[in-house]
Copies of this chain bind each other. A is one copy, B any other.
Amino acid sequence: MRDRDVNEAALQQPPFAHWLGMKVTHVSRERVTAELAMREEFNNRFNIMHGGALMALADNLGGTGTMANLKPGQRTTTIESKTNFFAAVPMGDTAYAECTPLHRGRTTMVWQTKITRGDGKLCAVVTQTQLVMDAER
Interface centre among A60, A63, A80, A83 (most CB of B within 10 A): A80
- Chain B residue with the shortest CB-CB distance to A45: B14
Within 8 A of B (CB), among A51-95: 51-53, 55-57, 59-60, 63, 75, 77-86
Contacts of A122 in B (CB 8 A): 102-103
Complex Cα distance A32/B81, Å? 22
- Interface residues of A: mostly helix, strand, loop or mixed? mixed
Q: Give min CB distance, A17 to chain B, whole Å.
A: 8
Complex Cα distance A80/B1, Å? 32
Name the contact of A77 in the complex, choosing from B53, B59, B85, B127 (C-beta under 8 A). B85
Contact with B along A90-134 (1 / 0, CB 8 A): 000000000000110101101010000000001001010101000
Contacts of A108 in B (CB 8 A): 79, 131
Beyond the given pairs A77-B85, A107-B107, 11 more chain A to chain B contacts, judged by CB atoms under 8 angstroms and listed by A's residue number, are: A12-B45, A14-B50, A16-B52, A20-B52, A46-B75, A80-B82, A80-B84, A82-B127, A84-B102, A110-B125, A127-B127
